[in-house]
Amino acid sequence: MVALALGPVLTVTPAAQAAGRTAAAAAYPGPGVVTGDIGVHDPAVVRRPGGGYLLAHTGDNIALKTSADRTAWRNAGVVFPDGAPWTTSYTGGSRTLWAPDISYHNGKYYLYYSASTFGSNTSAIFLATSTTGASGSWTNEGLVISTNSSSTYNAIDPNLVVDDQGRWWLSFGSFWTGIKLIRLDPATGKRLDSTVRGIAQRPGSTAIEAPYIYKHGGYYYLWASFDACCRGAASTYRIMVGRSASVTGPYVDRNGVAMTSGGGTQVLAGHGSVHGPGHQAVFGDVDGDILVYHYYADNGTALLGINKIGYDAAGWPFVY
């Protein structure tokens, strides 16, 4: 079993949360203890088939980190050490690529990632694959979906989910009209049809992004980040969730409010010296479901956060 060293839990125990109580922001747990190279933004983690973990995050040419135990992390180079010139028409020439989603299927790693500039929806999501996950081993599989200034949504923040029927889906979206879902071809990892489904939106406040769909029990849980990222310690990012019996929705929160109508149940928000936790990802491990995210320290540095996920008697997640 892989142990996760946890920071202090303030006031509210997992048992209390499991009874259905909602923790006040001041009572959220601290991130689990992590060491080494933990400066990250928009992290996603996959458990490697041979053991250990591979993390991808926003950075020049997509940054990689590895860990043997989910606690100590080290730099593992970048996905594209020779650059990614096919993305520069979306990035304005910048090498920084955003919000990678990493998973392992059919004997290889799949990496969906974003190319854009801040505040723009002239954006694109691309796919790369690798049999090892090592720096420089990745094959560019090309464009999956793009948007432009006349689009009503934004092609960034991708996340692949495979449903119980073996169908592949990609959720994505940031601001504008919210979170979208498209069908993918499992044979290629690319788009299967032209349908774009809306699965979450905040009318009156467009600040929703970073979707992550994860199946637990009888539900697909749609995790998302609300409010303002990327402002250092002034960030107001917070992690929200809704759920549905179907991968295509409708997703609703604990109170039954549809996520397409602004619904979402808060799971983690800023507290103490943890500012703006968000851009979350979820993965299953030998000791349960794990939440990874970034947050900002008091000095504005973006750091890796890891917590375990529990589920209360009604099936709603909480972190501990």
What does the pLDDT look like over 54-113, one tens digit per residue? 999 999 999 999 999 999 999 999 999 999 999 999 999 999 999 999 999 999 999 999
Active-site residue (options: 42, 227, 253, 312): 42
pLDDT at 306: 98
Residue closest to 142 by CA, chosen among 127, 123, 158, 157: 127
pLDDT band at residue 25 using 50, 70 and 90 as cut-offs? very low
The CATH number assigned to the domain holding 160 equals: 2.115.10.20
Whether 311 is in a domain gets the answer yes
Task: Indicate whether 44 pLDDT > 70.
Answer: yes
CA dist 132 and 65 (Å) reads: 13
- What's the domain range around 30? 14-319
CA dist 133 and 140 (Å) reads: 13
Burial class (CB in 10 A: 0-12, 13-18, 19+), 175: middle
SS3 of 260, please?
Answer: helix
Secondary structure, 3-state, 197-258: EEEECCCCCCCEEEEEEEEECCEEEEEEEECCCCCHHHCCCEEEEEEECCCCCCCECCCCCE
Whether 312 is in a domain gets the answer yes
Domains held by the chain: number: 1
Contact 97, 153 (CB under 8 A): no
Contact 7, 32 (CB under 8 A): yes
Whether 95 is in a domain gets the answer yes
Residue with structure tokens 């993918």? 184
pLDDT at 179: 98
Whether 2 is in a domain gets the answer no
Whether 9 is in a domain gets the answer no
Task: Indicate whether 225 pLDDT > 90.
Answer: yes
- DSSP one-letter string for 38-80: -B-SS-EEEE-TTSSEEEEESEET-EEEEESSSSEEEEEEES-
Whether 243 is in a domain gets the answer yes
What does the pLDDT look like over 158-195, one tens digit per residue? 999 999 999 999 999 999 999 999 999 999 999 999 99
Whether 8 is in a domain gets the answer no
DSSP-assigned letter for residue 86? G
pLDDT at 112: 98
Residue 141 annotated in active site: no
pLDDT band at residue 27 using 50, 70 and 90 as cut-offs? confident
Whether 7 is in a domain gets the answer no
Give the HSE-up count for residue 42: Cα atoms under 13 Å, Cβ half-sphere.
Answer: 25
Residue 147 C-alpha from the chain's centroid: 20
Active-site residue (options: 101, 157, 209, 227): 209
Residue 42 annotated in active site: yes
pLDDT band at residue 302 using 50, 70 and 90 as cut-offs? very high
Q: Is the pTM of this model over 0.75?
A: yes
Question: What is the share, in percent, of the chain residues with pLDDT greater than 90?
Answer: 91
